[in-house]
Structure 1
Amino acid sequence: MPSLPRRLLSHILPLATVTLLAGCAIAPPRTDDPLEKFNRKSYAFNMALDTHVLRPVAVGYTKVTPKPVQTGISNFFTNIKLPISIANSMLQARPSDAITDTGRLLINMTVGLAGFFDPATHMKIPLKETDFGITLARWGVPEGDFLMVPLLGPSTMRDVLQYPVDGYLFDPLSYFERNHKFHWGQYYIPEVVYFIQMRAQLLDADSFLKSAYDPYAFVRDAWRQTRLNKLYDGNPPADVMLRLQQGQGSNSQNNNFDPAELLKEQQQWEQKQKQQNNSGTPSGNP
């Protein structure tokens, strides 16, 4: 499956994670993580790969690539991946979202010069991104345990299925790769450029993750709540949020995302758990 390397590389932990951190306020850490031992090892592997390979490449890319070019590349890949959202919107019985994304795709690929510009946003046409994991959720498939997949990053037993399905069936780049044979693997060039651009966009957010008392817990809970917000179009029911947060207080209803304040809350919560564990006091729910 030619598309698989891009699906792996483009969703390496820091790419998927820090993007999600900016999506919404994040619930305090959860305690229901039965695969935590494996997940932490996978997280450590992903972070080592990012530290020694991905981040240095992204830093070099930003130094030699002008900002307008970076923006154009980002626009192109956002547009070229819209068929993934269009197909899943139809599978979710959301034809209006599919029509909206189709309109964006047509406008940006024509007026926007093959998608390198984004006139659709200036025309106030919203972006309705979705994926096969959300489709399964809308079909009633339970999410299963949280899973930190090597190379892929944070996911669940349900959501991890989006990678082979979206990457093979709905991704135009996958179709292009399967139907064009190159002697030197030139078809991977778009894949490489894509994940480098994605990683470069996240460089400014690295400090928040590095400053976390427990980066793994911060990543896990950031991903979980952002995924929940995406599933419910940014407005999850109060009872669902309560179950996610396990009765803990949170600034999740605040639409003004403040990473510094969020990081402070997460550090305080984790420090409290550490103190309780050191004193031998059962932690339970704080």
Structure 2
Amino acid sequence: MGIVIKSVVPLLAVGCLLAGCATAPPQTNKAAYQAYQEQNDPLKPFNKASYHFDNVLDTYVLRPVAIGYIDVTTPGIRRHVGEFMSNTDAPAQLLEFMAAGKPRDAGTTLVRFLVNSTVGIGGLFDPASALGYHPVYTDVGLTLAGYGVPQGPYLYLPFAGPSTLRDATGIPAAIVLNPTFPAPPSTGLTIFNYGSDALSVVNTRAELHGTISNIKKTSLDPYATFRSLYRQHRAAELKDINKRDVATPPAWYSAAQRKAMMHDEYDSTN
């Protein structure tokens, strides 16, 4: 997961050289050409090689570890671990919401971080939700999407999983925006970072165990299924942000003007 941006481009270049890029069918074959465009997966040979690598790693390492983790924990413990990990991401998400021009979500993120970090014992519990400040999510890829940056081709990175060229920029950004990044290096900090990263991976894999197992058992092409689900999930996340963080008309506007503004805001998010 510790991938910096300068390593992404060489990785793609090597992948294309070794595995080759998918060749587009002739435009005369309209059905095949349309399907190729909809897939938006010109790096498919490299992506599938990365997927198969991760699948082997998952089969022989992550899945057994996740099953053992499930056996020794309860759903409640896994939920609290997930809440703790989400809380550590809050400072980065606060900056990302501010950069995206989403003041409501930025405010919600700030309140959640302050409340959950104190009353919630470092984020292990989520008292902020009980106060009406429910979880919100964003990242660099969604921020760029809000500014109209296209997602680019589908990209499957080893260890990092499904992504797109736009979303892959969030990997190094997440490292830089991590609250521990500016801290002076130390043995304790290194152990904490590696430990929390490992716990986050195992906890997430455990939470998705049923879904992943079902896809691998029932899908004729798990690679294509994961690709489709990733795109649907990202589109839903962006839609939720746009619907949730609409502008508030000034109080001195007339009722008719406020109603019209809210109607326009709602229409623009659909």
Normalised TM-score (structure 2): 0.71
Paired amino acid for 2:209: L
| In 1, Cα distance between equivalents of 2:59 and 2:69 | 15
Which segments of 5 or more consecutive residues in structure 1 lack a partner in the other structure? 6-27, 237-286
Aligned to 1:205: 211
Aligned to 1:16: none
Deviation at 1:79, TM superposition (A): 1.0
Deviation at 1:85, TM superposition (A): 1.3
Paired amino acid for 1:195: V
Aligned to 2:99: 91
Which of 66, 70, 90 is the equivalent residue of 2:78?
70
Is residue 231 of structure 1 aligned with residue 238 of structure 2? yes
Is residue 4 of structure 1 aligned with residue 10 of structure 2? no
Q: How does 1:103-252 map to 2 (within 5 A)?
A: 103-168=111-176, 170-176=177-183, 179-182=184-187, 185-187=190-192, 188-210=194-216, 211-233=218-240
Identity within the alignment, %: 37
| In 2, Cα distance between equivalents of 1:72 and 1:207 | 23
Q: Which has the larger displacement, 143-152 or 58-67?
A: 58-67
Paired amino acid for 2:199: V
SS class of match (1:172): coil
Which of 52, 61, 68 is the equivalent residue of 1:44?
52
Deviation at 1:173, TM superposition (A): 3.8
Q: Render the CA deviation track for 1:99-144: whole Å, top value 9, x for unaligned.
A: 1111111111111122111111222312221001111122222221
Aligned to 1:19: none
| In 2, Cα distance between equivalents of 1:224 and 1:181 | 39
SS class of match (1:113): coil
| In 2, Cα distance between equivalents of 1:206 and 1:200 | 10
Q: Are 1:229 and 1:235, in contact at CA under 8 Å, matched by a contact in 2? A: no
Q: Could you say which structure has the higher helix fraction?
A: 2
Aligned length: 209
Task: Provide the aligned C-alpha RMSD in A.
Answer: 2.4
Normalised TM-score (structure 1): 0.67
Q: Render the CA deviation track for 1:231-275: whole Å, top value 9, x for unaligned.
A: 222789xxxxxxxxxxxxxxxxxxxxxxxxxxxxxxxxxxxxxxx
Deviation at 1:164, TM superposition (A): 0.2
Q: Are 1:54 and 1:199, in contact at CA under 8 Å, matched by a contact in 2? A: yes
Aligned to 2:31: none
Distance 1:33 1:117, change over 3 A: same
